[in-house]
């Protein structure tokens, strides 16, 4: 199986995958209000200006700015109040010289007016007129037509993952339905004769399945629809059958468990048998997670992740989630990675040519934030449960000193 032993760096493994995996976007239309966290599959243009009429941002009097020039509390401008603009209605008055109209926040600016004086800067003179105590500039306290968005403007770009405010923006322009990417189906296949479902009691030598569920939920968060194929015994025909059926019904396939060499070789052979280009990387220069298979067959990515939970999660975040986002028409990698800055509580040794992902817990010590490595073996699920996030030691670094400031990517 030596031909398969192609250990690639994380970046090269991704590049190989992206070279061979060209997903066709699948689109569906949904109610905009139900599209939170979905990936937009179109680039809608504003069908009209927003706002469609000039609006007041305050309670006050719509005026002609020039009528207030030079006004002050010692020398107020006197204006005739010729009406009140009702909310949600056409402003029916038209201001002439020396005239004003009462407007409320959000109300329409009447014809002839070009500014609003806040009610706090006015004083009633008599029943029909006011004193304006400070000059208004043209446009003051007014939102102009199209100031929010102009007709024909791009609203949100295709590929963007919709946030609450994006949905607000779409609805403000009347887009009550939108076209979004259909979630790709991600098959999760756990293997191992020692693995049993979580609702069973393990006998000697048996352990409950963890990865099917953890990886399914990570896939769901990334925007996919997870499809659990259950636990497959360590036999070639069983694995072959499972992978074939996963490829038939799903868009991406994730195998997990079976970290033994013979199992990995068997997985690689089974994947290779499904068609070109087959296995692209057999081994990634990363710790934990080296024994990873990256493949593309039938234009679908197939990942063989290590069976231990920490490695599986590291590799999922590194390669599987980006592939899911690619299938959704999104950016595979976030442009900006928000982090918490903390000091490293223990030295981390690395090796040049290997990227290390170290699970850490955050701890406040004497007013400073410290990142404490959770040095469990990568076979332990509680290494992940106890971790607040992860510190990455780059490929060419030999490690990080104790006390060094590091960026911690938090687990949400």
Cis peptide before 315 (omega within 30 of 0): no
336 binds its own copies (CB under 8 A): yes
Selected binder of its own copies within 1, 125, 340, 404 (CB under 8 A): 340
Neighbours of 234 (CB within 10 A): 17
Residue 389: CB minimum distance to its own copies, A:
8
Cβ 334 to its own copies shortest distance, Å: 9
Per CB under 8 A, contacts with its own copies among 159-178 are 163-169, 171-176
- Whole-angstrom distance, CA of residue 280 vs CA of residue 294: 6
Cα–Cα distance for residue pair 186/296, rounded to 1 Å: 14
d(CA 153, CA 174): 14
CA distance 112 to 210: 70
- Of 88, 138, 80, whose CA–CA distance to 114 is shortest? 138
- Of 19-27, 102-110, 272-280, 348-356, which part binds its own copies (CB under 8 A)? 102-110
Segment near its own copies (CB under 8 A); pick from 5-13, 124-132, 186-194, 245-253: 186-194
The answer to whether residue 240 forms part of the interface with its own copies (CB under 8 A) is no
Q: Confirm if 150 and 47 have CB atoms less than 8 A apart.
A: no
Strands 129-132 and 122-126: antiparallel
What b/e string do you get for 292-309 counting C-beta neighbours within 10 Å, with b at 16 or more? bbbbbbeebbbbbbbbbb
* Binding of residue 74 to its own copies (CB under 8 A): no
Q: Which of 80, 148, 240, 269 is close enough to bind its own copies by CB under 8 A?
A: 148
Instruction: Give the N- to C-terminal CA distance of the chain in Å, as an integer.
Output: 39
**Binding status of residue 156 toward its own copies by CB under 8 A:** yes
Count the alpha carbons within 13 Å of 317 in the hemisphere toward its beta carbon.
19
Size of the site for its own copies (CB under 8 A): 101
Which residue in the set 83, 98, 106, 399 belongs to the binding site for its own copies (CB under 8 A)?
106
Q: Please give the residues from 247 up to 276 whose contact with its own copies meets the rule CB under 8 A.
A: 259-262
Residues 109, 169 contacting (CB under 8 angstroms): no
What CA–CA distance (Å, rounded) separates 101 from 49? 25
Contact segment (CB under 8 A) with its own copies among 62-70, 87-95, 278-286, 318-326 equals 87-95
> Residues 13, 155, 280, 284: which binds its own copies (CB under 8 A)?
155
Does residue number 223 form part of the binding site for its own copies (CB under 8 A)? no
Site for its own copies in 300-319 (CB under 8 A): 307-309, 313
20 binds its own copies (CB under 8 A): no
Binders of its own copies among residues 196 to 215 (CB under 8 A) are 196, 198-199, 201-211, 213-215
Closest distance of CB 133 from its own copies, Å: 17
Residues 349-408 that bind its own copies (CB under 8 A): 362, 369, 376-377, 379-385, 387-388, 408
Instruction: State which of positions 22-51 bind its own copies (CB under 8 A).
Output: 32-33, 36, 50-51
Which residues have a Cβ under 8 Å from the Cβ of 139 and sit 6 or more positions away?
65, 114, 115
Q: What is the four-CA torsion angle of 157, 301, 218, 162, rounded to 10 degrees?
A: 10
């Amino acid at each position: 199986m030596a031909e398969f032993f192609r250990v690639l760096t994380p970046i090269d493994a991704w590049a190989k995958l992206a070279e061979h995996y060209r997903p066709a976007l699948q689109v569906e239309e949904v109610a905009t209000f139900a599209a939170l966290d979905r990936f937009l599959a179109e680039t809608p243009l504003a069908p009209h200006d927003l706002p469609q009429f000039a609006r007041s941002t305050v309670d006050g009097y719509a005026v002609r700015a020039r009528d207030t020039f030079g006004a002050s509390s010692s020398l107020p401008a006197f204006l005739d109040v010729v009406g009140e603009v009702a909310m949600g209605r056409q402003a029916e008055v038209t201001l002439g010289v020396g005239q004003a109209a009462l407007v409320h926040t959000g109300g329409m600016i009447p014809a002839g007016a070009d500014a609003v004086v806040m009610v706090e800067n006015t004083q009633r003179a008599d029943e029909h007129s006011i004193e304006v105590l400070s000059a208004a500039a043209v446009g003051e306290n007014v939102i102009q037509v199209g100031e929010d968005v102009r007709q024909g403007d791009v609203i949100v770009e295709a590929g963007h993952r919709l946030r609450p405010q994006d949905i607000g923006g779409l609805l403000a322009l009347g887009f009550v339905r939108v076209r979004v990417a259909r979630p790709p189906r991600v098959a999760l296949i756990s293997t191992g004769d020692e693995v049993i479902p979580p609702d069973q009691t393990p006998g000697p030598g048996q352990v409950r399945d963890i990865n099917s569920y953890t990886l399914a939920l990570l896939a769901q968060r990334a925007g996919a629809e997870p499809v659990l194929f259950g636990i497959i015994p360590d036999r070639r025909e069983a694995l072959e059958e499972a992978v074939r059926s996963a490829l038939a019904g799903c868009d991406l396939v994730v195998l997990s468990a079976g970290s033994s060499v013979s199992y990995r070789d068997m997985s690689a052979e089974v994947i290779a048998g499904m068609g070109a280009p087959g296995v692209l990387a057999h081994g990634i220069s990363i710790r934990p997670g080296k024994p990873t298979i990256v493949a593309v067959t039938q234009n679908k990515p197939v990942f063989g992740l290590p069976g231990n939970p920490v490695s599986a999660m590291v590799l999922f975040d590194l390669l599987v989630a980006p592939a899911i986002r690619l299938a959704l028409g999104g950016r595979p990698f976030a442009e900006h990675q928000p982090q918490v800055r903390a000091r490293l509580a223990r030295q981390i040794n690395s090796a040049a040519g290997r990227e290390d992902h170290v699970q850490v817990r955050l701890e406040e010590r004497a007013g400073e934030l410290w990142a404490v490595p959770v040095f469990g073996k990568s076979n332990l699920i509680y290494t992940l449960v106890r971790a607040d996030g992860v510190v990455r030691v780059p490929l060419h670094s030999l490690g990080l000193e104790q006390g060094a400031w590091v960026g911690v990517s938090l687990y949400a």
